[in-house]
Structure 1
């Protein structure tokens, strides 16, 4: 029989991203810890005051630095732009992250990059991103760059014998487009093998029907706790369980659909903007957790970037 903590959404990425524990369980010291800026990188053959390669590299580095625990805590706790340094994302930024979805606007983008970064208090593995390394980078023109980053995860549980134990890393491949001010205005990113990372980190049996049903119950507990009043989506926990049990469970390599996995990802975002994200965990999926026929949306470059396909991330 599965033994699941009823305070934790023990559902693969839900067990990493979407805890029913309030964010107030994070210590005040962690919330108030200033976000350390990563050390800037300069290539000796270029002027650091004018070189766009340095500028683009450092912008990307600062973005990933905010995924490292506890740097993301103030953003998740208080939400919004106040805790995101200026100069990273343009207000009109748009992008795609496969296998999660499309994101339009500043708030949606910072929620994906920072609010979904796992909190160790929110998952049974005590997993968190604790460091990163940009292992590949190229920027041959002022407004375009490409990068590969390794996000290293480990156990964060002071006092535990496993504290600091390395966990499997994540990888993200991305193309970036910058505006004249050096802010990211468009991006196209991919996280390969996300489902394997989730199962290795949580040891979850995603295909086990008993596991799926129990994880649905935990998701429904969290949904009812966060989505109430004008944001309520289900009449009761049991109504939610019955509704989600009829849906495809899904995998984290294809989290873009009318499935349970998609709702585990969007449940964590109900902490930042419940009025926006509660519909995504409800019966209809609120336009986010909805079935999308391949290749629709996966190749919607002209609609998303408002440029002809193949023109967005090309030096001109």
Structure 2
């Protein structure tokens, strides 16, 4: 049952630089720095987005370990957290954006257009407009601009990516206010109850035995609606309901890994341990330099 239905029944080129230093190449053979050239990198960018579109993303998710990624891939999404390894990135990049029974702020991508693009050696930076449908919000369609930095290895696998959903706060506000136009308080109340209910239902279905995070459904609802905040758009990797809602969709893939993410501790994905300075200065990417080697 989708969100609108629930609510309706009252559920509260870098130029050559003389004498510039040559940056070191990664020692791992899977991260050796190839020199693909501009046209090849554009095709690799397109190939990734083709796989990201539904229903192609469902096929990638079903593979468990998508060969779009290297085994040691490192990924970061601006408003959430870091993702390490092929399996985790397959789940979150492909599995998160396919049809689900969950009530979710996540949409399903169906078309894209690369608006801005530049590339050198094995690095590409792009701004891409992706069109999504949002099933939990009456299947409304909205465009989303996604800014990406990506590196590939010699096998044409993504070794790391840094992603920003541009204007995500505006997108989230647009979705939520649509639940009660002109009444932001009521819209948040409705969103809170619907998302919390969905998370708790998923917990009941998937987080059993040693994976259980709450004593009961009432305990789950109490925590999610009263003891933590809904969260702002930049807090999808913090101690919020919004973060747990994102991770709920992953429960069906590996409950032992993902159940803690919706629990009270947040499982290292939904907590407040990373402050602003730590997030900005984090030295996460190690698979390849983000700056092309000077030649």
- TM-score in same-fold range (> 0.5): yes
Judged with a 3 Å threshold, the aligned counterparts in structure 2 of structure 1 residues 74 and 232 are, in CA distance, closer, same or farther, namely farther
- Which residue of structure 1 aligns with residue 292 of structure 2? 315
Say yes or no: does 1:293 pair with 2:278.
no
What is the root-mean-square deviation in Å for CA atoms of aligned residues? Answer: 3.1
Q: CA deviation at 1:146?
A: 0.7
- Which residue of structure 1 aligns with residue 21 of structure 2? none
- Which residue of structure 1 aligns with residue 285 of structure 2? 305
Judged with a 3 Å threshold, the aligned counterparts in structure 2 of structure 1 residues 95 and 127 are, in CA distance, closer, same or farther, namely closer
- Which residue of structure 1 aligns with residue 55 of structure 2? 70
Equivalent in 175, 178, 185 of residue 159 of structure 2: 185
TM-score (normalised: structure 1): 0.71
Aligned counterparts, 1:96-245, within 5 A? 96-119=76-99, 128-140=108-120, 142-154=121-133, 167-201=141-175, 203-204=178-179, 208=186, 210-211=189-190, 212-244=192-224, 245=226
Distance 2:256 2:210 in 1: 8
Q: Secondary structure at the match of 1:61?
A: helix
Alignment: residue pair count = 256
Which is helix-richer, 1 or 2?
A: 2
Distance 2:134 2:236 in 1: 25
Q: Is the 8 A contact 2:36 2:122 kept in 1?
A: no
Q: Is the 8 A contact 2:150 2:160 kept in 1?
A: yes
Q: CA deviation at 1:126?
A: 11
- Which residue of structure 2 aligns with residue 91 of structure 1? 71
Distance 2:106 2:96 in 1: 15
Say yes or no: does 1:248 pair with 2:249.
no
Q: Secondary structure at the match of 2:247?
A: helix
Deviation per CA, 1:152-174: give whole Å up to 9, x if none. Answer: 12478xxxxx9xx8721111111
Q: Is the 8 A contact 1:120 1:126 kept in 2?
A: no
Distance 2:169 2:106 in 1: 18
Q: Is the 8 A contact 2:237 2:270 kept in 1?
A: yes
Judged with a 3 Å threshold, the aligned counterparts in structure 2 of structure 1 residues 300 and 229 are, in CA distance, closer, same or farther, namely same
Distance 1:125 1:90 in 2: 28
Distance 1:251 1:79 in 2: 33
Q: Is the 8 A contact 1:168 1:200 kept in 2?
A: no
Distance 1:188 1:138 in 2: 15
Q: Is the 8 A contact 1:94 1:104 kept in 2?
A: yes
Q: Is the 8 A contact 2:103 2:194 kept in 1?
A: no
Q: CA deviation at 1:184?
A: 1.5
Distance 2:125 2:105 in 1: 32
Q: Is the 8 A contact 1:147 1:173 kept in 2?
A: yes
Q: Secondary structure at the match of 2:154?
A: coil
Q: CA deviation at 1:104?
A: 1.0
Distance 2:206 2:242 in 1: 18
